[in-house]
A and B are shown apart, each in its own frame.
Chain A
Amino acid sequence: MRMLVVEDNEDLAETIVDRLRAEGHSVDRESDGAEASALLRHASFDLVLLDVNLPGRSGYEVLRAMRARDDDTPVIILTARSQIDDRVIGLDAGADDYMIKPVDFRELSARCRVLARRRAGTATNVFTAGSLSFDRRGKRALIDGADAGLKAREIQLLEIMIDNLGRMLSKEEVADRLYTFDETPSLNAVEQLFTRLRRKLDGTPLVIKTARGLGYLAYVSDED
């Protein structure tokens, strides 16, 4: 993956960059917000790690500028502040995820991988995770090459969960995305849909986790 790390602290930046390079990614680094913004205008990356407190422009401003340009590169915000507002501001500004410093690198890697998968799915229209392969355009899911036998609604649900890989969606949020304006969503039906989908995906590394009372979360389990 091509990654951009924007961090003004030299030591921290060095460790992150080295770590990511060790994992096989090609990583660029900026230490100033304005320069990072300029770079992002010309070059494209698969993932951006963005610190909030930057000289030049703040991380939020860089992020907002990106989104205003319709640049939907996945961004993980790194913040040392833990006020509630910061989190909300970050997500509102368009961040895909945020982490609080000091960062656990394993966790950082895991999150990067999740975002990469999300992105990979939309960019190439084919999402793969181990034995599972999902063709967005064709609306077909293959397990080990063979058709998984998913019904239309199940395909829709699979697409929604892959688009929100690593993020928890409540039953209501799923229903919102699943049903159109004039269909009446039934939360019971959603529940049954998940059960059926999970059964059909059994054996693939794509796990759809249920947090009872909270919602559903999809993740790929082979990197644990």
Chain B
Amino acid sequence: MRTEPRLVSLQRRLLLAMAGGFALLLLIISVLLWSYARTAANRINDLPLAGAALAMLERASIGPEGPTIDLPNSAMDILALNTRDRVQYRVFSPTMGEITGTGDLPLPDGMDLSDVPRFYDATYLGAPFRFVIQGRRMNTPSGRDWIVVQVGQTVETRRHDQMSFYLSGMTGLAALSVIGLVCVWIAIRTALAPLRQIAGELRRRDPADLADIPGSPPREIRGLFTAINGFIARLRQNRALTETFIADVAHQTRTSLSALQGHLALAADATDYPEMKARVDKAGRQAARTVRLSNQLLANAMVIHRSDRASLQPLSLCPLVRDTLADLLRDSRMRRIALSFEDEALAPEGDRIRGDALSIREALNNLVENAARHGPADNSILVALENTPGRVVLRVEDAGPGIAEADLARATERFTSLAAATRGSGLGLSIVQAVAEGHDAVLRLSRSRLGGLCAELSFPRLAALMAVLLCWGAGEVPAARAEALSLFSATDAAAMEPLIAAFEARNPGIEVAFTEFHTVDLYKRLRAAAPGTMPDVVISSAMDLQVDLVNRGLARRLALPATHRPPDWAQWRGELFGFTFEPAAVIYDTRFLGAHDLPSNHRDLAQFIRDNEARLTGRIGSYDLRSSGIGYLYATQDSLQGPQAQRLIEVLGRARVRTYCCTADMFAATARGELALAHNVIGSYAATLARGAPHVGLHFFDDYNLVMTRTAFVPRDARAPDLGARFVEFLLSPAGQEVIAAHTPLIPLAPERHPDLPIARRIAERPGAFLAIRLSPSLLTYLDRLKQRDFLRAWDASVLR
């Protein structure tokens, strides 16, 4: 009856614990869910805000009366998608004042002007609002100025969204928890049922009843069940052994002692001294035998007890045997016996077994004492340790009388002494047998080559944990065969070769197969490539074409280590990565034009050319937009900066601009004196070439200089994408960037980190004047067929007159 309530309370305890756990989890999750719901609601509702701000900024411009904005319908339409909230907006310039909208909208704390949208919460007219503020730099007559757009919405929808996310989440979780608890309760009940059964069964038992518990329990309980039954079986066995042993001991001891008593009684009754002496001598011998018997009984009991406990430890037999023999030699009775020990045949660590030292000592003592007692006083006893496969053999042999073949089987029975004259207790060999059994060892008795008994105890050898001498890949995995990396590049060999060489040096076993293309050809090749023919890395200077390819899903996402990640403008979707910094520059013939002559901003460039039309006609160079991807990119990006780009095109046309395919040609022409200046050349190349032509100068503008980046991606269907990823990683790694700085004409992504590059110094002179072309879908705008057609038409109309 006492066990029943204990079972139930275990169940209750488990249930309470689980409920507590669930509650705690729910609490933590509810907190997290609340903040997550808020974030989600914000994010959802921020997007239309951002969209509207962008749409508005795009329509901002500098008109004849100053900054103005042609507010697009779309901005308000976007905001109107949120049917609940109220809207506020404001457009202003920090220097030129309010342009339009509600002028007193609250600004964020610590506001700095940026072209990245910034979201913040503020209160306006007593109502909580969410604002976005975003700016844009415009070219004004007084330089570059900011126009800032601020859009705000009330937060009702936001709050509503947050609450609904939270509640639906929590409801689901709560329901789940309740169901979970119910299941747990049922499970516990079911699981504990067999335990109740076992408990009941055991309770009903008589303590003397050591039969197995019947039943076939489920697998998890079976372990306990089998253990209990095993324990009961061992108890049974133990009891049986003890019972027989006690019976044996009783018999032997009583017999021995009664013999002793008998002799002493006779001695006391003796009538003369010689008779008494004879009786007493016999009594003495009987006493010695009784002592020996008792010792052996105790030893036997000890051995059995220890083997029952199964407390075998790893031990080395050799030192144990030596110690035991050294002790035995102290005994004066061993003096004339020639005892020797052999262990040369042992393998190193070959004497390791699992054993109980005390029992083995006892066994060895018995074997040697047996040999000493049954043999002559000058007996030879040889003890040896040797290995057989998987086993360690302890052998004791002597030159005594030995045991006859017929008697060998009986020798180990308890209380059997075979030679009446030298009768021992009869227990010696049976003790050795008991030790053997307890150690999973085998006792073998035979005739020794010395003539007497040979007793061999064969133990299972402890499997030495041999240290497996493996070179665990001694550092790198040796690449037995060279792996090939296929690289398609629209960047010329002079720039790529040092990078390829450096990569191959760092990755022995990888060979880079480099194929060079023109930008447009590369683009077309990849558009048309059949799967299986894709290269492992695609590098090009045409940012827009690369974005197009990646936008079509051709690229694979790469996971770069944090140290290698390029700035945000130089990467898109984690798939396309820029690895250089290439500003557009103007080159000019210093013999013809002075540095101070050159205009400092783009607006003035058109004016400058007009003013010097006479000298400059036919001596200005630019790209042929149809054949140069870079040229087209620079030209279209210029057109995004303001209407002066269009004016420039007209002016260039009037000045009969000469068009070229590439920077190199323009530079050569300038060096030869054919050109006075060339516009939008690739600054990195120009800087390198200028080292060999000191009369060609490099000029940057103060308002902005477009910066393009050479990009790389790993195609999704590449054959060796891991190698490709490794190459891209290398390009972006500090080591790779160092190679770019030191050994190629290209400029590394962060030129300020390489101050010894001369071009880096020039870039540092104009902080903020370098406008990176952002890797984003906006580059796709001018790849639009119509857009491109219209742009080129306008270009042709001006230039090819």
* Partner-B contacts on A (CB < 8 A): 83-84, 87, 97, 102, 104, 106-107, 110-111, 114, 166-168, 170, 207, 209, 211-215, 217, 219, 221, 224
Contact = CB atoms under 8 A, between A and B. Distances in A.
Contacts of B343: 213
Closest 10 A-B residue pairs measured CB to CB?
A: A213-B341, A212-B340, A110-B332, A211-B339, A168-B329, A168-B326, A214-B341, A102-B291, A213-B340, A213-B342
B291 A212 contact: no
A19 to B, nearest CB: 13
A157 B227 CA distance: 61
Interface in B305-346: 322, 325-327, 329-333, 335-336, 338-343
B358 interface: yes
B322 A214 contact: yes
Contacts of B361: 84
A104 B288 CA distance: 8
Given A212-B341, A213-B343, A214-B322, A166 B291 contact: no
Given A97-B330, A166-B330, A215-B326, A221 B340 contact: no
A50 B491 CA distance: 98
Contacts of B689: none
B542 to A, nearest CB: 82
B296 to A, nearest CB: 12
Contacts of A114: 332
A114 B335 CA distance: 13
Contacts of B340: 211-214
A126 to B, nearest CB: 24
Contacts of A102: 291, 294-295
A106 B361 CA distance: 24
Contacts of B339: 211, 214
24 contacts: A87-B327, A97-B330, A102-B295, A107-B332, A111-B330, A114-B332, A167-B330, A207-B335, A211-B325, A211-B329, A211-B338, A211-B341, A212-B338, A212-B340, A212-B341, A212-B342, A213-B340, A213-B341, A213-B342, A214-B322, A214-B325, A214-B340, A214-B341, A224-B335
Given A110-B332, A211-B340, 19 more contacts: A84-B361, A102-B295, A104-B288, A168-B330, A207-B335, A211-B329, A211-B338, A213-B340, A213-B341, A213-B342, A213-B343, A213-B383, A214-B322, A214-B325, A214-B326, A214-B341, A217-B329, A219-B332, A219-B335
Interface of B: 288, 291, 294-295, 322, 325-327, 329-333, 335-336, 338-343, 357-358, 361, 383
A219 B343 CA distance: 26
Given A97-B330, A102-B291, A84 B358 contact: yes
A102 B289 CA distance: 12
A83 B306 CA distance: 12
Contacts of B326: 168, 214-215
Contacts of B329: 168, 211, 214, 217
A212 B337 CA distance: 12
Given A213-B341, A214-B322, A214-B341, A111 B332 contact: yes
Contact of B335 (A213, A214, A221): A221
Contacts of A219: 332, 335
Contacts of B331: 107
In this complex, which of A87, A97, A102, A221 has the most chain B Cβ atoms within 10 angstroms of its Cβ?
A: A102
A169 to B, nearest CB: 9
B333 A107 contact: yes
Contacts of A209: 335
Contacts of A211: 325, 329, 338-341
A158 B294 CA distance: 41
